[in-house]
Amino acid sequence: AQSVTQLGSHVSVSEGALVLLRCNYSSSVPPYLFWYVQYPNQGLQLLLKYTSAATLVKGINGFEAEFKKSETSFHLTKPSAHMSDAAEYFCAVSDEGGSGNTGKLIFGQGTTLQVKP
C-alpha cells in the first residue's frame, strides 16, 4: 500500500526566506507524486507533479520539487516566500491502480505555510 508523510503540520517563514516543505512517500512501484495547494475556502490547485521524467520538477508560482528515490522524498521548495504563498500544501501519491483507470490520490496530512512580514 502506498502512503505519504508530510513532516511538520505547520511551517512559518519570513517573507523572502526559503520555503521547504517536506514529503516522504512509500510505494512498491515507481510513484507518481504531486503537490497541491489549497488557499482558504478554496479547492485544490496543482503546483507540480512528478511522473518519472526529470527528477527536478518545476511548478507554478516559483515552486519546485526534487524526486529522490534513495530517500523516498519529494520535498517542495521555493527560494523566496511571498505573503501570497500562505496556504495549505498537500503532497500526494497516485495509487498503483488495478484494473481500469483509478489513479486515486493518497494525500499526506497537509502542511500549513505561514509567511510573516
Partner 1 sequence: DTAVSQTPKYLVTQMGNDKSIKCEQNLGHDTMYWYKQDSKKFLKIMFSYNNKELIINETVPNRFSPKSPDKAHLNLHINSLELGDSAVYFCASSPGQGNTIYFGEGSWLTVV
Asked if 17 and 78 count as a contact pair (C-beta separation under 8 A), the reply is no
Q: Quick one: which of 36, 63, 67, 74 contacts partner 1 (CB under 8 A)?
A: 36
Tell me the window of 10-18, 19-27, 39-47, 58-66 that interacts with partner 1 (CB under 8 A): 39-47
Work out how close the CB of 50 gets to partner 1 at its nearest, in angstroms, rounded to a whole number: 10
Give 8-12's long-range contacts (Cβ < 8 A, gap of 24+). Answer: 8/111, 9/109, 9/110, 9/111, 9/112, 10/111, 10/112, 10/114, 11/111, 11/112, 11/113, 11/114, 12/113, 12/114, 12/115, 12/116
Work out how close the CB of 45 gets to partner 1 at its nearest, in angstroms, rounded to a whole number: 8
28 near partner 1, rule: CB under 8 A: no
Q: List contacts with partner 1 (CB under 8 A).
A: 32, 34, 36, 38, 41-46, 49, 51, 88, 90, 94-95, 97, 100-107, 109-110
